[in-house]
Every structure is written in C-alpha cells, then in structure tokens.
Amino acid sequence: MTVLAYVGLGSNLQDPAAQLARAVAELASLPDTTLMAQSPFYASRPVGPQDQPDFVNGAVELRTALPPHQLLDHLQTIEQAHGRERLRHWGPRTLDLDLLLYGDQQLADERLTIPHAELANRDFVLQPLLDLNPELSLSDGRRVDQLRSECPDNQLRKLPPTGGSN
C-alpha cells in the first residue's frame, strides 16, 4: 500500500536553490517511492535568528510505500549527505527536509510529528503545498488554503525556475 506524503525543503547555505534541486533528485530515487510533483522555490526571511541569510524553500509530493519513520530516516540521511549540522535552533543550514504530511495519518512521538507541528505558521511551507495541491486539507479537516490566508507574512518571494529544476 502506498500513501501520498509531502516533504518540505529548505536551505540558506552553499547555493540554497542548488541544494534543493539536488535534494529533489535524491528524493526521486528513494526506494519504494515515486516523485509525483515539485513546487516552485520561494525565498523568505529566516524564522528565528535574523543574523543569517534568507532561506529558499519548496515542497515535493511523494507516493511512497515507506512507513513514516523509515521515510524520516531517508530524509535525515539526505540531509547528512548535504553536510547538515544542527548547531543552533532555527539556525542556518545547508538542507532541511521535513516530513509535513503522510497520508491522513496523525502521529506524535519523540522523533516525528505529523502533520508537522509548525506547518500552519509557515507561509513558506503552506504556499508550496498549495502549489502542489490547491484542494489539500490536513487530517483534522483544516484546509491548507485557509491556513495560508491566516498565516503570518514572512516576505515570501517566488523564485524563477532555474535549469528546469522547479
């Protein structure tokens, strides 16, 4: 059995758009997983410490047979391959991959919360999700378009496509 899963991507170090484009290609090659769609990339101010570069964010829609924790393991392996270091909460990073939604599943344990805990507060997460599926709703029935209309403004700017990667 497969489910639709949505993964958020973010970077603000070492050519962020290129980091995301490489990550999308790596996500497309995950076992038992098919890349269904990719959102455009967006630039936005950082959340948290402002003494860092702006972020580039996007999202992908995957059809996967991987269980959620196994998918998370793969996401963290890709982050590590990109040199991800967790030095400061909400600090700069080469790559951040967040499992945002996994079918209609709700999950909360020490490693993983689905839907992602901050999803409703991040325009740079909600807008790419809307680009992928304008009718998307969370498992609790909240519509992503409604969440987006209520979301704090983080000066989101859509980036032009580069090299056919978005």
- Among all residues, which ones are annotated catalytic? 84, 93, 96, 98
Q: Quick check: 58 and 42 in contact, CB under 8 A?
A: yes
Residue 166 token pair: 């978005």
User: Whose CA is closest to 23, among 71, 84, 75?
Assistant: 75
Q: What angle do CA 76, 110, 125 make, to 5 degrees?
A: 55
